[in-house]
Amino acid sequence: FMTNKLDPWSSSEINDYSKLFEEFGISPFDNVLPEIPSPHMYMRRRVIFGHRDYEQIADAMRTGAPFSVMDGFMPSGKVHLGHKMVMDQIIWHQQMGASAFVGIADREAFSVRGFSWQKCREIGVEEYILSLIALGFKPDGLIYFQSGCESVKDLAFELGVKVNFSELSAIYGFSGETNLSHMISVATQAADILQPQLEEFGGPKPVVVPVGPDQDPHLRLTRGLAGKMSMFRVEERENANGGKYLSVRGKGAPKEALKELKKRIPGKVKLYEEHMDILQTPDYPFLERFVLQINHPEKKKCFTAELKDASKSASEIKLTRKILDEIVAEVAADFGGYAFIPPASTYHRFMSGLQGGKMSSSVPDSYIALTDDPKEGAKKVKRAKTGGCVTLEEQKKLGGKPDECSVFELMLFHLIGDDEELLEIRQECVSGTRMCGSCKQLAAEKMYEFLKDHQEKRELAKEHLDEYKIIYKK
Ligand code: SF4
């Protein structure tokens, strides 16, 4: 695709999201894009605009190291193009080598919507799972209903110890009226995200959760919990001179585990101060000095591993961190504890409603369901709000506004896979050589074809359901 000096996919909305970068520490996706082998269309087109820690995912893709993609769907209504965006990203990561986990959040639907387990199951299968498979989800991924997944339920209970009501009300606005099950469903979502790192799924590894920015509170909560639950934490820190160093904390870890950790960290151990050891690591020369501050039960000391020469390069820090992560995970597992890596995330723009404004499940004309009759889907495209001028003459003179056009958005997000073709459409629109009537016609035809094909694949998926690993409520 053309590398454009100006932002070819530009949208004013991205500017609205820039607050997220500053306030919540989400990084712009542009920073990590060059590190990704053959990036997904949403990445190239800046539909995905931000991330947390995606570097570790890009790294795993390049090196073939294990990583996972995880996402969940609340079985609450019709599966639509907004869900397709998430499914496309899960499937892409799966194709890039991730082990994939999809949770059907029936605990959430039960507690928030009051749906019965049976209704959750029907909606989960009929709407979400069939479309997920039809879009290309491979059978080696795991699909589960929260209510049937013992490991998620156990982990949710354990996570519950590390989070209190004040935190939940600060994050989710919970009040005295909030029911207990709703709170449990929040802990369950955190467990969903951490589950791929459990021993039975191969232990700690980078996990990415593709979400819209509204889901970020879950990510922040879960990232915090990953640290609180871990027997040891490896963190990158900055000293007063701006130099980077690595810190390993082991608050509350059993003494034996600490001893074992010391043994397994390569190098020579020397006593430095009362509860501080120095490790010299000839195996890793860039680790000139490695300070290990021992956790002292009475003094409640954490322990800190630090690179004395803080000017070490980012890649050395990264390598060191990888080594430390692995050692720490092994020791934690041996002592029956966890060592979670904080989950990574990507953030995508929302699709707007077909009539402008927001997409709303209570306004069927504002969205296209993947189960809409293809003819009806095409009609919705034809009724959609465009960014065109009132008269043809004006449009020829002034051009259209693709960034304010729902039809262009459908092409950008779903209907046109070829970047060059899309850029051409954009160019023609802006320059006034493209008219909305024929443009809509093209989009409507493509939508008809997509829905028809997708629904045929859904029928096929029904026949192949039993080839998939699906955990239902017992
Ligand atoms: Fe939208 Fe197409 Fe009209 Fe441009 S020409 S405003 S892209 S419908």
β-pairing, 268-273 with 276-280?
antiparallel
Does residue 470 fall inside a structural domain? no
Q: How many helices (H) and strands (E) does the chain have?
A: 18, 13
> In terms of pLDDT, which residue wins out, 288 or 25?
25
Nearest to 72 by CA among 27, 108, 20: 108
202 vs 65, 150, 198, 206, CA distance in Å? 12, 17, 7, 11
pLDDT in the model for residue 237: 64
Q: To the nearest whole percent, how much of the chain has pLDDT over 70? A: 81
pLDDT given for residue 413 in this prediction:
95
Q: Determine whether the shortest distance from the Cβ of 416 to ligand 1 is under 6 A.
A: no
**Residue 316 · residue 208 · CB < 8 Å:** no
Query: Same structural domain for residues 134 and 220?
Result: yes
d(CA 343, CA 324): 17
Domain edge (last residue) among 350, 377, 393: 350
Give the span between the Cα atoms of 251 and 231, in whole angstroms.
Answer: 7
Q: Is the pLDDT of residue 298 over 50?
A: no
Q: Is residue 359 part of a domain?
A: no
Compute the average pLDDT of residues 164-182. Answer: 87
β-pairing, 99-104 vs 142-145, is parallel
Q: Is 385 left (phi over 0), alpha (psi -120 to 50) or beta?
A: beta
User: Do 272 and 374 share a domain, yes or no?
Assistant: no
Residue 399 Cβ contacting ligand 1 at under 6 Å: no
Whether pLDDT at 313 is above 70: no
Residue 421 identity: E
Alpha-carbon span 259 to 279, nearest angstrom: 13
Residue 269 shares a structural domain with residue 185: no
Residue nearest to atom 5 of ligand 1 (CA): 436
76: which 2 tokens?
Answer: 């609450």
The letter for the amino acid at 261 is L
Return the ligand 1 atom nearest residue 436 CA.
3
Residues 188 and 201 in one domain: yes
Q: What is the number of domains present in the chain? A: 3
CA dist 290 and 268 (Å) reads 10
Q: Does the CB atom of residue 440 touch ligand 1 within 6 A? A: yes
Q: Model confidence at 251, in pLDDT bands (50, 70, 90)?
A: low
Assess whether the C-beta atom of 408 lies below 6 angstroms from ligand 1: yes
Where does the pLDDT of residue 337 fall: very low under 50, low under 70, confident under 90, or very high at 90 and above? Answer: confident
Alpha helices in 101-179 (DSSP H): 106-108, 117-123, 130-134, 150-160, 165-172
Give domain status of residue 166, yes or no: yes
Q: How far is the CA of 395 from the centre of ligand 1 (A)?
A: 10
Q: How far is the CA of 373 from the centre of ligand 1 (A)?
A: 24
Contact, 166 vs 40, CB < 8 A? no
- Ligand 1 pocket test, candidate residues 439, 442, 446, most atoms within 8 A of CB: 439
Mean pLDDT for the stretch of residues 61-85: 94
Tokens of 449: 């074809």
pLDDT at residue 293, as a whole number: 39
Q: 25 lies in a domain?
A: yes
Same domain? 174 vs 282: no
Answer yes or no: do 287 and 271 share one domain.
Answer: yes
Whether the pLDDT of residue 294 is over 50: the answer is: no
* Domain match, 153 and 83 both: yes
Residue 20 covered by a domain: yes
* pLDDT the model gives residue 264: 77
Judgement on whether residues 136 and 26 belong to the same structural domain of the protein: yes
Burial of 269 (0-12, 13-18, 19+ CB in 10 A): middle
pLDDT (0 to 100) of residue 372: 96
Q: Residue 280 falls within a domain, yes or no?
A: yes
Which pLDDT score, from 0 to 100, does residue 130 have? 98
Closest approach atom of ligand 1 to CA 411: 7
* Residue 316: per-residue pLDDT: 60
Q: Which residue reads 């509170």 in tokens?
A: 217
Q: Which residues pair with 100 in a beta bridge?
A: 69
SS3 198: coil
Query: What number is the average pLDDT over the span 374-398?
Result: 92
Domain encompassing residue 101: 12-228+342-350
H or E element that contains 375: helix 374-383
* Domain end marker among 316, 350, 384: 350
- pLDDT tens column, 430-470: 999 999 999 999 999 999 999 999 999 999 999 999 999 99
Q: Is 434 in the pocket of ligand 1 (CB under 6 A)?
A: yes
Q: Which atom of ligand 1 is nearest to the CA of 429?
A: 4
389 lines ligand 1 (CB under 6 A): no
